[in-house]
Structure 1
Amino acid sequence: MPKSLVKVGAQIDGFTVGECVHAGGMATLWTVTHPGIDAPLLMKVPRVSEGEDPAAIVSFEMEQMILPRLAGPHVPHCFGTGDFARQAYVVIEQLPGTTLYPRLPDLPLPYEEARVLVAKIATALADLHRQNVIHHDIKPSSIMFRASGEAVLIDFGLSHHNHLPDLLQEEFRLPYGTAPYMAPERLLGVRDDPRSDLFSLGVLLYFFTTGERPFGEGETLRAMRRRLWRDPHPPRKLRPDYPPWLQEIVLRCLEIEPVWRYPTAAQLAFDLTHPDKVRLTARSERLKRDPLSVAWRRRFNQEATQPRPKSDVAAQIASSPILTVALDTAEGAAELNEALRVTTERILATLPSARLACVNVLKLNRLVIDRTLDEEGSNKHIDRMVALRHWATPLKLDESRLTVHVLEAVDPAAAILEFAEINQVDHVIIGARQSSFRRTLLGSVSSKVASEATCTVTVVRPPRMAADSEEVRADEAAG
């Protein structure tokens, strides 16, 4: 193994080495500069001296392969790598601030602060999973935040990339990770299920809102294996004021079987963003763990201890999208809303884990004060929520897969676009209304949504409108 070239003032591939800012068990961090890069930089260098853990070298190889393939605000930008033949390193942007680790003395955090915090982390995880990467080391010290508020995930040495060789899986039998946050299936050798990251995030949310880790501090393999059959104490046992919606979310993340957790990080983020829409089940009311008889059945269930079939990150995400259907509850929209229901039903039939958000926009006036009650004294907001649920009833969706939202905005198209962006919506389904002079002059809501949305948009027309082929072609061109 070549001797390390990294020291103060050294020149390596155009990077000038500054001071050592961190010396960890597996790597050191150095400030570096480059004449062609106007940004603060860090060089991460693995420990490769005699006696160092071989897994540290393998995990650094994984980070070298994965980091250059990642993009977006939720990961550090990578500026270069060096191989082990001369000098192994990774150069990344130096993020201001610290990780979440210094917040541990402040625990437990207020519920609302923890909700907002973890929702941002779930959003970052959703972006990472879309890039075919499972992090496998979600914990306070691997999470930072940009000045703009986005969560940033760091340290990808234990990660799995769906399109790259998994060196840790190939070379080591024991699971590597941080014991208190490790998902049960990791103990069975499963490294290709993105829901493992949701379990780890559930541990973090439990810890940040109760001040205690759900599985304690046990780091022995025997202690970790207990989570294959033993569930944690419900948070409400530790804190009687624990919100039911929050316990529902936490315990769903901590389900032993991945299939009972949230199907995607985006759906978890959606619930954290809309706590009032969380469907409460028996999880939310629990005060005790499962009885010992249930735990023993799990322990001696041979199927639970067998390796799982290989998973596919992209397929898992693709089968569990968030759909939004934009509806008009006004009179005269029945035919169009029926066409929207037929289209939505066809799409949902192929996506058994999809989430549906039914949206209506209560249009506000620009110059006059809006009234919350209609002419008959009914609350407009509530009436529209009831109408949305009535529209969705024939779809026969489980309550956990359906939410209704009445947005208040001056510009309906802008409101729908904002909702789709904030909630990581994958597909918007919207109706095209009949043409009118006003829509011809100002443009329709559907054409604006179709042209500006960053996700898939389906524009639906009722049968009587489809006959007008010229209008169809014009709307499709706008979409």
Structure 2
Amino acid sequence: MAKPSVEPGAVIDGFTVGECVHRGGMATLWSVTHPELASPLLMKIPRVAEGEDPAAIVSFEMEQMILPRLSGPHVPACFGTGDFARQPYVVIERIPGKTLYSRLGELPLRFEEAAAVAGKIAAALADLHRQNVIHHDIKPSSIMFRPSGEAVLIDFGLSHHNQLPDLLQEEFRLPYGTAPYMAPERLLGVRDDPRSDLFSLGVLLYFFTTGVRPFGESESLRGMRRRLWRDPVPPRKLKPDYPPWLQEIVLRCLEIEPVWRHPTAAQLAFELGHPTQVKLTARSERLKRDPISTVLRRRFNRGLTQPRAPSDMAAHLVSGPIVAVALDVVEGPSALNEALRVTAERILATLPSARLACLNVLKLGRVTIDRTLDEQGNNKHIDRMVMLRHWASPLKLDEHRLTVHVIEAIDPAAAILEFAQINRVDHIVIGARQHSMLRALLGSVSARVAAEAGCTVTVVRPPRLASHQPDQPDALA
């Protein structure tokens, strides 16, 4: 049986215990050192004394299973775990600084700052979900930031791993979590939908921009169940200067049904990073809560208040990628641009929740002073945005699934690669190099993007019948 306590100076599996840095409701945190590890470390030990909540043990088991399987900058590195037969523990890297909870005294934050913070958290969630994990306890005290700026998610005791047994689901009937941030479907026993984390992030963003939690502080299960049929007060009711684009995002995150929220955390991060491209709906101007007739219809609609069937997390994430089509709308061959549209249409036809980002690079000279207007006096940037939308119009996409981007850059390939990395693009579609002696010697944009991109790349050539025409400039360059 595990020991009820740990003292400074004790040595556990080569880790020397230092001071206790935190005592929580379910575990304690100790600073530790190891002769073979130079980085600062923390040892997390569950509370297992008489009278402690048994859920603390189960949630710690979940954390022990999940943490060693995670990697990347958005989670703490795990350096070891201890067996319950001797001493249960997990050793993780010690992230410098404080959690986001330390900023509660500054609320409400400026809209732009809060959106930037939420965008970093959404990016961290996108990375976590790709690793088959739903956090289920997104709140200020579960979020830290590295000195380099990335959000780090901590405390995985309530998490769900799509490929591991869900001990909390198997052993307890009541939902565990932090009441003000808990998604409605969690109250129905649903733990396998990654959009639950988006709801929690929506609560955090609402709180950080208004200073008020959208569902209050109720801890009773009865009070929490109201969010199955009652929507929050729109932020613009509390703050008249609330940006419509931000209210659109927040209220979409807080939709009762997961299917009405953003399809993925990556798409949410994309919108937070491109506020001028957010498609505004009636949500953005709302000043009142839903009418009582709508509330009653939800209240007595069994479909909204009954448990859902299990979902396929992997299939859900695959169905909602971000697809970027890079094309030259000014000098690109019409046959190639048509081939790019056909390819995009085929990809989107199988992905009903995908987002399409149409991308064009306005190439700048290395030493020349570039003019923003063309020979006719038209703004080049705006003209290209209009042409991108015209190119995409035959696809007949819902507005919230389409964005257009004109990037000014000296190096088109580098600009495309940077856009894909920053915006977590899953698939790039780009035109192939056209026949040209210069391109043969110097390479092409498409070849470099295909070689260096961290995602899937489809290189498109025009149909063979359209290839017998004079040499054209390489698409985008």
Instruction: Please tell me the TM-score bracket, short chain as reference.
Output: over 0.9
CA distance in 1, matches of 2:113, 2:421: 22
Q: CA deviation at 1:151?
A: 0.1
CA RMSD of aligned residues (A): 1.2
Over residues 97-136 of structure 1, what are the superposed CA-to-partner deviations in whole Å (9 max), with x where a residue is unaligned? 0000010010000001001110000000000000000000
Tell me the residue number matched to 2:69: 69
Question: Cα deviation per residue 1:149-193 (whole Å; 9 max; x = unaligned)?
Answer: 000000000000000000000000000000000000000000000
Contact 2:324 2:356 in 1 (8 A): yes
Match of 1:217 in 2: 217
Question: Cα offset for 1:234?
Answer: 0.2
Match in the other structure for 1:395: 395
Amino acid at match of 1:255: E
Give the equivalent residue in structure 1 for 2:158. Answer: 158
Q: Who is 1:474 aligned against?
A: none
Instruction: Check conservation: 2:2, 2:88, Cα contact below 8 A.
Output: no
Output the amino acid matched with 1:380. Answer: K
Where 2:458 maps in the other structure, the secondary structure is: strand
SS in 1 for 2:342: helix
Residue 448 in 1 paired to residue 448 in 2?
yes
Alignment of structure 1 residues 80-479 onto 2, 5 Å = 80-331=80-331, 333-464=333-464
Q: 2: distance between equivalents of 1:246 and 1:156?
A: 29
Inter-partner Cα distance in structure 1 for 2:155 and 2:2: 24
CA shift for structure 1 position 311: 1.1
Query: Structure 2 CA distance, aligned partners of 1:56 and 1:145?
Result: 26
Given that 2:324 and 2:425 are in contact with CA atoms closer than 8 Å, whether structure 1 keeps it comes out as yes
Supply the distance in 1 between the matched residues of 2:54 and 2:434 (Cα, whole angstroms): 67
What amino acid is the match of 2:437? F
Could you say which residue in structure 1 is the equivalent of 2:473?
A: none
CA distances 1:377-402 after superposition (whole Å, capped 9, x unpaired): 11100110000000000000000000
Instruction: State the one-letter code of the partner of 1:381.
Output: H
2:58 maps to 1:46? no
Q: Confirm or deny: 8 A CA contact 1:364 1:410 kept in the other structure.
A: yes
Conservation of the 8 A alpha-carbon contact between 1:4 and 1:87? no
SS at match of 1:276: helix
Q: Secondary structure at the match of 2:329?
A: coil
Could you tell me how far apart the structure 2 residues matched to 1:153 and 1:333 are? 46
* CA distance in structure 2 between the partners assigned to 1:129 and 1:268 by the alignment: 13
Moved more, 169-178 or 434-443: 434-443
Q: Percent identity?
A: 80
TM-score for the superposition, normalised by structure 2: 0.97
Counterpart residue identity of residue 351, structure 1: L
> Quick check: 1:5–1:87 contact (8 Å CA) kept in 2?
no
Aligned to 1:473: none
In structure 1, the gaps of 5 or more residues are: 469-479
Partner residue in 2 for 1:33: 33
Quote the offset at 1:466 in angstroms.
9.0
1:39 maps to amino acid:
S
Matched residue SS, 1:381: helix
The structure-2 alpha-carbon separation of the partners of 1:390 and 1:79, relative to structure 1 and needing over 3 Å to count, comes to same
Letter in 2 for 1:30: W
Amino acid in structure 2 at the alignment position of 1:150: E
SS at match of 1:439: helix
Classify the secondary structure of the residue corresponding to 1:323: strand
- Counting matched residue pairs gives 469
Deviation string, structure 1 residues 255-295 (Cα, Å, up to 9, x no partner): 00000000100000000000000000000000000001110
Matching residue of 2:475:
none
SS in 2 for 1:217: coil
Q: Equivalent residue for 2:21?
A: 21
| Cα drift, residue 435 of structure 1 | 2.0
- Displaced runs of 4+ in structure 1, greater than 6 A? 465-468
TM superposition shift of 1:307 = 1.1
- In 2, the alpha carbon distance for the partners of 1:452 and 1:43 equals 38
Q: Report the alpha carbon displacement of residue 464 of structure 1 after superposing the two structures with TM.
A: 2.8
- Partners in 1 of 2:398 and 2:432 — Cα distance? 28
1:347-376 deviation per Cα after TM superposition (whole angstroms, max 9, x unaligned): 000000000000000000010110000011
CA separation in 1, counterparts of 2:466 and 2:134?
Answer: 44
Residue-by-residue CA offset, 1:302-324 (whole Å, 9 max, x unaligned): 11111111112211110000000
Whole-angstrom CA distance in 1 between matches of 2:321 and 2:3: 49
Contact 1:434–1:465, Cα closer than 8 Å, also in 2: no
Distance 1:172 1:465 in 2: 64
Matches of 1:107 and 1:373, distance apart in 2: 43
Answer yes or no: is 1:10 the counterpart of 2:10: yes
1:5 to partner: Cα distance: 6.1
Cα offset for 1:4? 3.8
Partner of 2:472: none
Q: 1:467 Cα deviation (Å)?
A: 7.5
Structure 2: state its 5+ residue gaps: 469-477
Distance 1:465 1:409 in 2: 33
In the TM superposition, what is the alpha-carbon distance from 1:53 to its structure 2 partner?
A: 0.2
Q: Secondary structure at the match of 1:19?
A: strand
Q: Report how far residue 463 of structure 1 moved.
A: 1.2
Give the Cα separation in 1 of the matches to 2:361 and 2:467: 28
**Partner SS, residue 31 of structure 1:** strand
